[in-house]
Amino acid sequence: MPDPHPLAGTPRRSRDQVADLHFMDARFKLLDLAAFLDRLERATGADDHRVRGLRQALPILLEGGDDRVAKILHLWSDPSLTPIEQADTKSASGVWPGLK
């Protein structure tokens, strides 16, 4: 990385230290995610593109490497490279609607 800042370079931490700081936060978020999937299960109809995108991201959580966030954001991104003619909405939904 060009022009490194003194904050750069992850300080050496043990996994215990990371868990001490952030385990409870991750725990409640994982339970919230599980609850969301359960809630979908109890609802009717098919998954829309957002939920499909979310389900496709779940296996990434179990992959190795320290770039899961970037991988998920790439998965959900519009892969095209040219401007579109006109927008049919002002807002984004969180997952590219064309994701198969």
Partner 1 sequence: MRYIEPHGHMVSRTTDDYQAMALAGCAAICEPAFWAGFDRKSADGFHDYFCQLTQHEPKRAAKYGLPHYCWLCINPKESEDMALAADVLALIPQFIGAPTVLGIGEIGLNKNTRNEMKILEQHIELAVKHDQLILVHTPHLEDKRKGTRLITDVLKAHSGVRPERVIIDHVEEHTIAGVLDQGFWAGITLYPESKATPVRAVDMLENFASQRVWLNSACDWGHSDPIAVPKAAAEMRRRGHSAAAIDSLVYGNPVRFLSQSKNFKDPQALR
Residues of this chain that interact with partner 1 (CB under 8 A) are: 1-11, 13, 21-22, 25, 67, 69-70, 73-74, 76-81, 83-87, 89-97
User: How many other C-beta atoms are found inside a 10 Å radius of the C-beta of residue 38?
Assistant: 10
Hey, CA dihedral for 87, 52, 27, 32, is it positive or negative? positive
The residue among 11 and 45 lying less far from partner 1, judged by its C-beta, is 11
User: Tokens in use for 40?
Assistant: 């979908």
CB of 63 to partner 1, least distance (A): 15
Residue 96 has which token pair? 């590219």
- Rounded to the nearest whole angstrom, what is the least distance from the CB of residue 94 to partner 1 in the complex? 5
